[in-house]
Amino acid sequence: MKIKMSRVLLRILTLILALGVCSFAGFGQDDPDPNSPTPILLSAQDSTRALASSADGITKRPLGKILPQAFKPDSTIALYVTNVSLMKGEGANAFRIYVEDVKGHSYRYPVLDLQPVAGFQGVYAVIVRLTDDIGFWEPPTADGDVLVRLTWRGLTSNRVRLGLGQIGGGIKDDPGSVPTPLGTATLTNKKGRISSPNYVGYKWSGDRTRFLEQATFGPTPDLDNRIRRIGLKAWLAEQFQAPYPSANNPFPNNPLKPGTPPADCDNEQTITPDVPVTCFRDTYSMYQPQTWFFREAFYGDAQLRHRVAWALAQIWVTSGVDIQQGRHMVEYDKILANNAFGNYRTLMKQMTLDPTMGDYLSMALSTKNNPNENYAREIMQLFTVGLFMLNQDGTLQLDASNNPIPTYDQTTVNNMTKVLTGWTLCNNGCPNSVSGTPNFIDPMVLVTNNHDLTAKTLLNYPGSTTSTIAACSNCTNSTNIATYANASMDKALDNIFYHPNVGPFVSRNLIQKLVTSDPTPAYVGRVAAVFNDNGFGVRGDLQAVIKAILLDPEARGDVKSDPNYGKLREPVLFATNILRAFGVRSADGLSQSDGYMTGRSEFTGMAQTPFMSPTVFNFYPPDYNVPGTALNGPEFAIMNTGTAITRTNFVNRFVFTAIPIPVSSPNAPNGTSLDFTDLQDLSTADPTGNLLLDELDRRMLHNTMSATMRSTILPVVTSVAASNPLSRVRQAIYLVATSSQYQVQR
């Protein structure tokens, strides 16, 4: 009886737990379905030739009677797409058309319009101009077929033939291409089955991993399990409230020191044998903020805030190349972290008065008699509005001559400079003022005699209410000057903040840092709309903006098939994603790593050392295009032969060395190592190597390893004796981590 009762109870408990997990998962699953349908370009009935017509012929001829034809370059035509599900307001700027000619050159044709086709539910006419909208290559001549594909939300359609000038030519169809005539709902193979990549894994597993790559410093099993239980929205809600930084990793609090190192500061020399002295390292270098940064990236619970602060640090740039003390950088980073989910206008004000920024861009030295325009220029050019007027989807506004329209001119810079004169470090009378030591903790203060009192003209744009500041009429004492100066600063910051460019400019930058380097205008426009109004009439709500970026349908999905989607993993994220995937820990495996893999060799060689940007333009500019293409890919600006080799060496060092970063007092007292125990067990259990590759595919590539990649890697892995599982594991990780498929976060 006891045995029967135990079995009954066990079944009941199992059912309760299952229901509990399902209901908890259901709470999270009010997240929108991340998997958009794959678009299909329609072709002729019995060929892969595009169903296409002149743009003015959409309603003149039934779709079923459109005959194959060739088109002249620079003409405007209609291609026809199905199997898309549009959101309210989603239109032409959500789509892109790419063309490849017989020489292998790729072009992007501008999409001008999107129209539903009357009488054909779910079919849309995509209006396209047959001219390269980037202008990288000489456009294809009118001498035959090109292959055309359409992309939408990071997904690519099939490729169909399109005749330019004439039909025919030497270009070949993609292997496995089949006709997709009118009435096609899903792409099918010759056996009539739905064609889909051979992806393995439970539903949405790939999307959770992709989400964690975007929102954290790398997926871990614990985070994946958490999101599997509660969903993305609930996890975001947790992250918005999570304490930061971690309790066991507080911000470095090293005391400020004089600008000139005192005589007793050791410059990392050992004064007494076997006694390390670290005054210079801990004060006059970036060692402390860097080691703190990596400990938080490896182990911190508030991953999203840390990741967003890192993204903001690449927009509001300062650098240890010029900033003297690590504590100075810590105070600057606190502002980014504190405002990561706050309001952008608050961030603008606090950063304007930040001593580190004031020192880096010279505002702390700017006076009415010796004005310095550095900060006044960069707050506009790099931090808020950019150089040219933007539409709300981030595309350029053009004048009558088809030229970009400048956002401001030198006169605007000069006037903004006047507004920002007179502020300097608070070296006397503030809570953290210490005689003889520059105060980089308290906000800068105004020296009234150094503030410009003349009239100023600011940014002028439709709807602006603060484009001018009158000269001070009653500045006869310091109190009145202070009132005037502070009011002027607030007016100037409001003038910038309410400029229509700020929403799309900031939104696109953050999308690039978190999700994809070349987002569609539709994606930018949706996020910019949230920046402009979070739904409650509030502008600049970064919490709402981050949520919009990460939950957008262009961000979500198990698989993104568009080869131009995603971003090269910048060195910091490349490193942390690998290390978090394999249980980064101390060299002896008993505690947390001290984080000092930061630098000097590991990241300098990859051209991205935290807090050491070479210029105010960040490690790479946001408008950088991948060489040889028209693809926007900022991180590729620091990808060259040298950095590519260093990235490979980084993986080699951490994967193949028993203790990659050994104990090295005083800079790395704990060291750093990885844990391959579970993978060794898989390798031992399956001598074929397939289980090992399955796990690496799931863990590192969210189940998207191509068949070609797998067939290439597997023989190399199995060439290592099955009796040496650790070597097999290392070989497999090395090959995956150094592959192009892994190095591009997609």
Among 36-40, 59-63, 85-89, 199-203, the range scoring the smallest mean pLDDT is 199-203
Please determine, for residue 301, whether its predicted confidence score (pLDDT) is greater than 90.
yes
Residue 193 confidence (pLDDT): 37
Looking at residues 492-515, what average pLDDT do you find? 98
Please, how many CA atoms are within 13 Å of residue 719, restricted to the half-sphere of its CB? 7
Please determine, for residue 410, whether its predicted confidence score (pLDDT) is greater than 80.
yes
Kindly indicate the confidence band of residue 677, based on its pLDDT and cuts at 50, 70 and 90: very high
Kindly indicate the confidence band of residue 202, based on its pLDDT and cuts at 50, 70 and 90: very low
Please determine, for residue 467, whether its predicted confidence score (pLDDT) is greater than 80.
yes
Looking at residues 667-677, what average pLDDT do you find? 86
- Per the CB < 8 A criterion, the answer to whether 420 and 439 are in contact is no
Share of the chain above pLDDT 70, in %: 87
Residue 268 confidence (pLDDT): 53
Please determine, for residue 664, whether its predicted confidence score (pLDDT) is greater than 90.
no
Looking at residues 485-498, what average pLDDT do you find? 98
Looking at residues 383-404, what average pLDDT do you find? 97
Residue 28 confidence (pLDDT): 38
Looking at residues 13-26, what average pLDDT do you find? 35
Please determine, for residue 275, whether its predicted confidence score (pLDDT) is greater than 60.
no
Kindly indicate the confidence band of residue 658, based on its pLDDT and cuts at 50, 70 and 90: low
Kindly indicate the confidence band of residue 33, based on its pLDDT and cuts at 50, 70 and 90: low
Please determine, for residue 138, whether its predicted confidence score (pLDDT) is greater than 80.
no
Kindly indicate the confidence band of residue 466, based on its pLDDT and cuts at 50, 70 and 90: confident
Which pLDDT tens digit goes with each residue over 549-596?
999 999 999 999 999 999 999 999 999 999 999 999 988 888 888 876
Top-confidence residue, 65 or 85 = 85
Residue 627 confidence (pLDDT): 82
Among 346-360, 365-379, 530-544, 668-682, the range scoring the smallest mean pLDDT is 668-682
Concatenated DSSP letters for 356-404?
HHHHHTSGGG--SSS---HHHHHHHHTTTS-SB-B-TTSPBPB-TTS-B
Which runs of E-coded beta strand occur in 237-387?
none
Average pLDDT, the chain: 89
For CA atoms 444, 446, 452, 458, the dihedral sign is positive
Can you tell me whether residue 188 is helix, strand or coil?
strand
Kindly indicate the confidence band of residue 660, based on its pLDDT and cuts at 50, 70 and 90: low
- Per the CB < 8 A criterion, the answer to whether 49 and 80 are in contact is no
Please determine, for residue 26, whether its predicted confidence score (pLDDT) is greater than 70.
no
Helices H, strands E: what count in the chain?
23, 17
- Per the CB < 8 A criterion, the answer to whether 523 and 504 are in contact is no
Share of the chain above pLDDT 90, in %: 75
Please determine, for residue 118, whether its predicted confidence score (pLDDT) is greater than 90.
no
> Is the CATH code 2.60.40.10 the one for domain 40-164?
yes
- The pair of three-digit structure tokens given for residue 274, joined into one six-digit string: 């076997």
Looking at residues 438-456, what average pLDDT do you find? 98
Residue 465 confidence (pLDDT): 82
Looking at residues 350-372, what average pLDDT do you find? 98
Kindly indicate the confidence band of residue 105, based on its pLDDT and cuts at 50, 70 and 90: confident
